[in-house]
Structure 1
């Protein structure tokens, strides 16, 4: 199964607005270039890059009756056409070079309630809030890049 990268977002510091970009470098040491979370590699840090499925975000928006941009979820990557693995250790390839390893579920925080009543609960079931990952192989990613699960 192959999906597509529909969105890339980053924020320079905690609580900073999300910046949408069309292309970005991803490194093992820094995650998504310009995103403050990418360099936070202490143990047991497992949230270097975050991903969310477009269908899951759209479903949460329908549940709360709002239309809020996906980047307000504060995820780094918006994907479509692929079900994100819900198993730590599974690897995803984005574009030609970047490989991410799923580490855990991306639990929705209390900030989601500030966006819309009930949004945190709407993002909670079945990893609907997305997945966290670490960078295994770096490179460049761009909008519309292919995303696929790496074979073990």
Structure 2
């Protein structure tokens, strides 16, 4: 059942007074290849990021984001250091709750995105993080987004709910 847009819960969910910030950007050149850390990226409308293996793939997962504040949590639960490239998400964002952007449009640099689904961990996290890695990421995997309007963005750009 859809949420009543006039409800108190809808009002609370729509309240995002803060903006976020892009902390890290990575591209996956191919399956099981090391991610490439980049300073900026080009997002292709209804596609993915230029240079990423998912470019032109499913529109609802054109880009994946993870919250910087969750990296220490994942590290603590996995019992090891966690670098962003290890988690295979395209963008690390700080300062804004990503889950609040699900089903909403938001802007990063010139790019307009639509949050689609939580970005659940895949079975590869067990290998990447060690035994229990999959469970360490559950609830902390970030957000998948569709690229509504392409363009470029870079490290330091704001993440703003529209």
**TM-score, shorter chain, exceeding 0.5:** yes
Q: 1:49 to 1:17 in 2, by over 3 A?
A: same
Q: Contact 1:86–1:105 at 8 Å: present in 2 too? A: no
Instruction: Tell me how far 1:123 sits from its aligned partner.
Output: 1.2
Query: Residues of 1 paired with 2:95 and 2:55: CA distance?
Result: 25
Radius of gyration: which is bigger? 2
Establish whether residue 117 from structure 1 lines up as the match of residue 134 from structure 2.
no
Instruction: Tell me how far 1:28 sits from its aligned partner.
Output: 0.6
Q: Contact 2:46–2:146 at 8 Å: present in 1 too? A: no
Give the strand-richer structure, 1 or 2: 1
Corresponding pairs, count? 144
**Aligned with residue 39 of structure 1, among 46, 49, 56:** 56
Q: CA RMSD in A?
A: 1.4
What TM-score do the two structures reach when normalised by structure 2?
0.83
1:10-89 equivalence runs, <5 A:
10-41=27-58, 46-86=60-100, 88-89=102-103
Corresponding residue for residue 142 of structure 2: 130
Q: Contact 1:61–1:68 at 8 Å: present in 2 too? A: yes
The higher-RCO structure (CA 8 Å, 6+ apart) is 1
Q: Contact 1:52–1:131 at 8 Å: present in 2 too? A: yes
Q: Contact 2:101–2:115 at 8 Å: present in 1 too? A: yes
What TM-score do the two structures reach when normalised by structure 1?
0.88
Q: 1:37 to 1:21 in 2, by over 3 A?
A: same
DSSP-derived class of the 1:46 partner: helix
Unaligned runs of 5+ in 1: none
Query: Residues of 2 paired with 1:88 and 1:18: CA distance?
Result: 25
